[in-house]
Amino acid sequence: MSELLAVVPKKVEASARALLDAACARGLSIVTAESCTGGLVASLLTDVEGLSRAFERGFVVYTDDAKCDLLFVDRRAIERCGAVSRETAIAMAEGALRNSEGDVAIAVTGFAGPAGPGDEPGLVHFACARTDWGIRHREEHFGDIGRGPVRLRCLAVAVEMLRHAVDAEI
């Protein structure tokens, strides 16, 4: 068992396994675009032995430049709405699909820990896109519970949103 799976709640680990099993059964591949989680979603999905083939690739785009350079997020949109926003999360998910061979993408952007003045610790935006399904957004307010706990909660939300997209009847 990897170090990550050692700290991930068993329920999240089981959900990730079920997600990957469903994606494999449907022939769908998953892409991640992560900011505040720093690649933890990708790590979780590649730690499940025998099912990680459902994972196509991951983008860790912590800075605004990375979001713009790798996912082609419009810099003006980030300046207008902020890196932690519905608009940026959606653009990240769309960019992840455009710049990969994946079928389903999850994007995560937020403040895992103390942020700048006026920023809300624990505010996270998620966007999940599927090439033949559209895109869904979700906003979570986890509170000022610390970086680690926020990131672990992000794993649960990301897996849940991916599972919904994988199971969607088109």
pLDDT tens digits, one per residue of 95-148: 999 999 999 999 999 999 887 888 999 999 999 999 998 999 999 999 999 999
Q: What does the pLDDT read at residue 105?
A: 98
* DSSP-derived pairing of the beta strands 30-34 and 55-60: parallel
Distance CA 26, CA 77 (A): 34
- Beta partners for residue 62, in sequence order: none
Please tell me the distance from the alpha carbon of residue 85 to that of residue 126, in angstroms, as a whole number. Answer: 9
pLDDT tens figures, 20-53: 999 999 999 999 999 999 999 999 999 988 898 9
134 CB-near residues (< 8 Å, 6+ apart): none
Q: Is the pLDDT of residue 17 over 70?
A: yes
First to last CA, the chain: 35
Q: Could you tell me what percent of the chain has a pLDDT over 90?
A: 85
> DSSP class of residue 51?
T
